[in-house]
Amino acid sequence: MDLGIAGRTALVTGASSGLGLACAQALAADGVRVALAARSHERLAAAAQAVDGEPVTITTDLSRPEQIDDLVSAALDALGDIDILIANAGGPPPGNFASTGLDAYPDALQLNLLSTVALCKALIPPMQRRGWGRVVAITSVSVRQPIDQLILSNTARAGLTAFLKTTATEVAPDGVTVNTVQPGLHATARLGQLYDDLDAVAANVPTRRLGDPADFGRVVAFVCSEAARSITGASIPVDGGAARGLQ
């Protein structure tokens, strides 16, 4: 299927591994020029080898608010306009209500909520002026069904979903769509950090397997396609049927 986005440009954050890298790969496979952003220059350089075209790499730490302006400037310098933003980062540390101190919340909110707000504030207005744009944030299926030991993630991602849903309505008349894609359990480094026995984890997923990051990337690329121009304000689970609620 031709996604109709060849020649477009994308900034993908958290793109040196896992789901972010898979999104960059899927977009580049459809002819999108991509900038990959993450913390480590070395890991980004290795990741870029696996991405079609001539991807640009940008070193940034999304947990540091003062670095966002430099990230945006570097991406604009490299690509000109940015048509597509894939907002992603690592997840915050695990913990529950009792084990998580108040002082842990600001860092989690910066990494998984405010960094995306800042990127949207910088990149959506030019998309509106050009009459075309796509924003996709990678959140979590925990927005539908909070995960007991991930209270920081649950909290930040629910807030981000509300921010993006509100924004989606406001910018829809200008040709800009804003969506979230919610991973369930995918075979990435993050999952290996959270769980010891991945076979046991997979056995509890209705599809009886962990998600393939490449499949996830292709779903995100479709959300960025021309054909998906009427999909906005949506939160799309890619979770093997793990979330049991009706919505």
**Does residue 237 interact with ligand NAD by CB under 6 A?**
no
**Does residue 20 interact with ligand NAD by CB under 6 A?**
yes
CB-based burial label for 68 (10 Å; 0-12, 13-18, 19+): buried
**Does residue 74 interact with ligand NAD by CB under 6 A?**
no
User: Minimal distance in Å, beta carbon 121 to ligand NAD?
Assistant: 18
Interface pick for ligand NAD out of 68, 84, 109, 138 (rule CB under 6 A):
138
Interface pick for ligand NAD out of 3, 11, 12, 19 (rule CB under 6 A):
19
- Per the structure block, which two tokens stand in for 16? 């040196």
Q: What angle do CA 48, 192, 201 make, to 5 degrees?
A: 125
CA 231, CA 120: separation in Å to the nearest integer?
18
Interface pick for ligand NAD out of 11, 30, 83, 91 (rule CB under 6 A):
91
Going by C-alpha positions, the residue among 32, 11, 220, 27 that lies closest to residue 124 is 11
Give me the residue whose beta carbon is nearest to ligand NAD.
Answer: 18
Do 10 and 220 meet the contact criterion of CB atoms below 8 Å apart?
no
Q: What are phi and psi of 154, to 5 degrees?
A: -55, -45
Among residue numbers 175 through 204, which ones bind ligand NAD (CB under 6 A)? 183, 185-186, 188-191
**Does residue 133 interact with ligand NAD by CB under 6 A?**
no
Binding site for ligand NAD (CB under 6 A): 14-20, 38-39, 60-63, 88-91, 111, 138, 140, 153, 183, 185-186, 188-191
